[in-house]
A and B are shown apart, each in its own frame.
Chain A
């Protein structure tokens, strides 16, 4: 009887280990959230200083805000890679190249599509739906990748999509909804994941 329980446990572990990216650390989520909040704060202060009404944005402003957003993305990714490596090392997990590639591929397609679409929108001066677009495509990317990593990522994705749709309805609250989606949601999610999977 003991052996059967052990067998089932080993089977489940091997299935997960061979098909899922489980080195993602909760700390990456927390840091991504903090970075996003910092980026949004910068954008907010910038707009406050340079525009009494944020209705009409100049080319230069758009450039600065786009660079700000891209910086947030790059720094968050940097944290994700750093903490994943650290966790893999600590738990003595080997990062399987096929699993990493699968994860990147499934995350990357919606993310790249959304990123390119956002840049096209910005370059046409149609900025009102950019916050919604980044949130929705990011949410879709998470839902898409969730079968290759922790199941909780699925729900984070759904939350991002809902917040993104809200940002499309309440256009003038774009920045604050963006901050909730990329900032607060990540911090909360990261904290839950850290407590659940990383602490032991």
Chain B
């Protein structure tokens, strides 16, 4: 049992981070506002969780300009994909 719980990733303890990862694992790239709308979060709240996931190397930021307006998009990294998948497996195993 202890072994299975050890597979749960502390980084995904927060429901918000789970949400961000869930969205990014099924979409190639997603912009900040779409994420905000989907997860129903404030700018500051979303930004801090994105920063945390980025620092862990789970997501990456793509900054670009769309008709001269800055547009920030996010993409899941290979490492992020693997970690999230492991976390999902651990969750499923726990529930049995």
Contact = CB atoms under 8 A, between A and B. Distances in A.
Contacts of A10: 15, 18-19, 22
B6 interface: no
Interface in B12-42: 15, 18-19, 21-23, 25-27, 30, 34, 37-39
B37 to A, nearest CB: 6
Contacts of B95: 1, 4-5, 8
A7 B22 CA distance: 11
Interface in A1-25: 1, 4-5, 7-8, 10-12, 14-15, 17-19
A123 B94 CA distance: 63
A7 B91 CA distance: 8
A14 B23 contact: yes
Interface residues of B, number: 19
Contacts of A11: 18-19, 21-22, 88
Contact of A15 (B26, B34, B39): B26
B92 interface: yes
Nearest to B84: A11
A192 B12 CA distance: 38
Contacts of A14: 18-19, 22-23, 38-39
A148 to B, nearest CB: 11
A173 interface: no
A18 B23 contact: yes
B38 A19 contact: no
Interface of A: 1, 4-5, 7-8, 10-12, 14-15, 17-19, 94, 96-98
Given A8-B88, A11-B21, 15 more contacts: A1-B94, A4-B91, A4-B95, A8-B92, A10-B19, A10-B22, A11-B18, A14-B22, A14-B23, A15-B26, A17-B38, A18-B23, A19-B27, A96-B37, A98-B27
